[in-house]
Amino acid sequence: MTHDHDLVLRPTPAQTEAALNSPPGRNGGDLVVETLAGLGATTVFGLPGQHALGMFDALRRSDLRYVGLRVENNAGFAADAYGRITGEAAPLLLSTGPGALTSLAALQEAAAASAPVLAISSQVPTAGLGGGRHGYLHELPDQAASFRGVVKSVHTVRTQSQIPSAIEAAWKSALSAPHGPVWVEIPQDVLLAETAIPVVTGGDAFPEELPPRPELTAVAADLLSKAARPAIIAGGGVVRADASKKLRQLAETLQAPVVTTPGGKGAFPWSHPLSLQSWMEDRHTTEFLEDADVLLVVGSGLGELSSNYHTFKPRGRVVQIEADLGKLESNHPALGIHADARLALQALLETVSERQDPTAPERVRALLAKVAERIAAQELTLEQEVLASVRKALPADSPSFWDMTILAYWAWSAFDAKGPNHMHSAQGAGGLGYAFPAALGAAVADPTRPVLAVSGDGGALYSIAELATARQYGLNVTWLIVDDGGYGILREYMTDAFGEATATELTRPDYVALAESFGVPGVRTTPENLEQDLAKQLASPGPSVVLLPAVLRMFAPTHLD
């Protein structure tokens, strides 16, 4: 009789041969890159440092593609975007101390947006672990402590034999719903020492699934089927789970209007008769959702941006599907279903009853007309025309990456992403400098499509060094920089709150000349010529910069009314 615990995975003949003929000159770094390759990685991002040289030397002996950026935080943003575009865990190789810590802001964005990033850092030599003050270069009492509040999981390696299992466990953690960044750290001496461990020839790359509890989806299906005014909020979890088609099918079955959050852009067709688009920062939309007798929230925690700054107060029953357990019912009481969006939507599709509601499309049209009327009354023609020019210039299947800048805030509400996983911004953690290095990561992931990055001049200076990266690798990214002479949105906030702005004005370079000094074509444009100039650069291979000097304004907020 055979028991499950008696089953042993036997190596293939090729694996046995590789193990018996392990080439000489390998070190702990080889175990890192071999494990990554065995798990299915093809590309790694990073920046070398003294303690991490064992890993970087091992790249010479592997087939992994290395993309090196100029700042660790930017390398993290590039890995974040690579993970979002491919759905794979993006390896990020870093060095100890300052190199590691410089990546923290990028890892916070990856955590907030559930982007799968596998960060692997060196550590001080093994003798320095444990918090003693030995005076090693880059030494911290507890380097991992700096990351525990940011990433999903932390894995500290102390011996070479732990490397494959630690990286495999981190890989699964990064790719299990909810996706997110993970942290592995390996001491310098472990990476440098010659190893007798056989070549790593494979790995279990399959993350655990997160299905819904059937008794909960049965109740949810009954509520939705009997609802008089159902509505749906679709968040980033729908995009990450590749569940957009299931969302559309459910919405049409229920005749339920759908609004997408900034993170869920493109999860539902923009011009669909049931599409409320993504005007979350709008009182009319807020009231529409509050009036729903059953509100289905899929893949969103209903945080600040997705609740009109916590002014949303639902009056009906809320059903919330969320893969991140910590976000379940964190803002509103609900029938909470802890599950991957795709699996939960499939369960609902199998159990809901079809609803007939000929009034739903008319209610959607009426709401969008109110929104349009509100915006039209504010004399914001320039802003709307600039955003429309960007949309016309950008190919429908091209991804775009947006920094924390006024045009991006407009885009969260008013930009048609043209499809799921096409529009990404730093709205998760809200840090500056995301757009351009993230766009570079997306171009690495898919070089067949041009990629757009959008920054303000303040955010652009965070990542200007990556023009060198774009040129070095010939990445197909066009960078639109809207130059308003400072931190434009902070200028607005401070002027509104205090009557004048402080610390918001910037001396900045000639961005066109600066781009050209890197060997990157640059063009200065105007609002009238933006569409033509941007389309031309997007159609040209390789990197480019389009500079738009313009002072844009935000539409009036409604959460302060």
* Digit-coded pLDDT (tens) for 407-445: 999 999 999 999 999 999 998 899 999 999 999 999 999
Question: Cβ neighbours of residue 118 under 8 Å, at least 6 residues apart?
Answer: 36, 41, 89, 90, 91, 92, 167, 170, 171, 174, 181, 182, 184
Instruction: Give the pair of three-digit tokens for residue 286.
Output: 């807020």
The pTM for the full model equals 0.94
8 A C-beta contact, residue 301 and residue 338 = no
Report helix, strand and coil shares of the chain as percent, to nearest 5: 40, 15, 45
pLDDT tens-place string over residues 120-153? 999 988 888 887 778 888 888 889 999 999 999 9
pLDDT reading at 561 higher than 70: no
- Residues 517-558: tens digit of each pLDDT: 999 999 999 999 999 999 999 999 999 999 999 999 999 999
